[in-house]
Amino acid sequence: MMASPVLSLPGLAVGPEGAREVSRALPEEWPVAFSFDGSTQAVMMATPQDLEDFALGFALSEGIVEGVEDIAEFELVLHEAGSECRFWLKPGRGASLEARRRAFAGPVGCGLCGIDSLEEANRALPKVPVGKVLSAAEVSGAAEALRGAQPLHDRTRAVHAAGFVQPGRGLVLAREDVGRHNALDKLIGAMARGGIDPARGAFVLTSRISMELIQKAAVAQCPVIIGVSAPTAHAVRLAKGAGITLAAFARGRSFDLYAHPDRIRTGASDVA
């Protein structure tokens, strides 16, 4: 049986008044292995829920498959020590495994563990489509909407979230995980399974915007990223090169724009 995503564990709360026994809801970290055609490519520590979404999103964002049509069969196998996501690919996709080969057991905060070369870390990204235009109010509202779609975070205060917003519709989907890039992979997988086109909206993320999140968005062909925290300088460079609109520090009614601001309407009437 798969582990629960949240466990209530005892502890001691210590303050000026002394110590008292407490029980806290804490997020679980669960080993998840991804294998393709019988070969394990990665082992990630993740929140043990929405693992089918996670597996497909990982395969898509890492360039192992280009779409669900490349997958001949998928199986989620539960072990006492973790979960295994087994893919069998259609003929002709095996070559991409060597090109994007990974073999690591990495912590949840690490997006580059085990890659083969500096060139792979700085691989060229595909250009994203023009996409839709959002108002400034929709950008700031997306961050607020995502805060209301995080049941695991509400219980634990310790997980990240990734959501997808569409102009005129707001937040349409969200996923959570202890790892920020895991949450985005889960979202990408859920969108692929649901037939939702990333080019028709924006990703909104609770974490800092780092290079691997830009890479995943470019591969998914999502033209806008909205983050509640800061971007790294390298993430800004990658976003500019890939044609991605990057909004950061999205809190309250304000945010900063760092790349391709033309997809965001910033007039006074668009902010309200």
Which residues are designated catalytic? 110
Helix (H, G, I), strand (E, B) or coil at 249: strand
Rg (C-alpha) for the chain, rounded Å, is 19
**β-pairing, 245-251 with 224-227?**
parallel
> Structure tokens of 6?
């949240």
Q: Give the pairing type, strands 18-27 and 30-36.
A: unpaired
Distance from C-alpha of 25 to C-alpha of 152, rounded to nearest angstrom: 9
Give the distance between the most distant pair of CA atoms in the chain. Answer: 66
CA quadruple 5, 8, 10, 15: dihedral positive or negative? positive
Say if residues 73 and 88 touch (Cβ distance below 8 Å). Answer: yes
Distance CA(48)–CA(136), nearest Å, equals 35
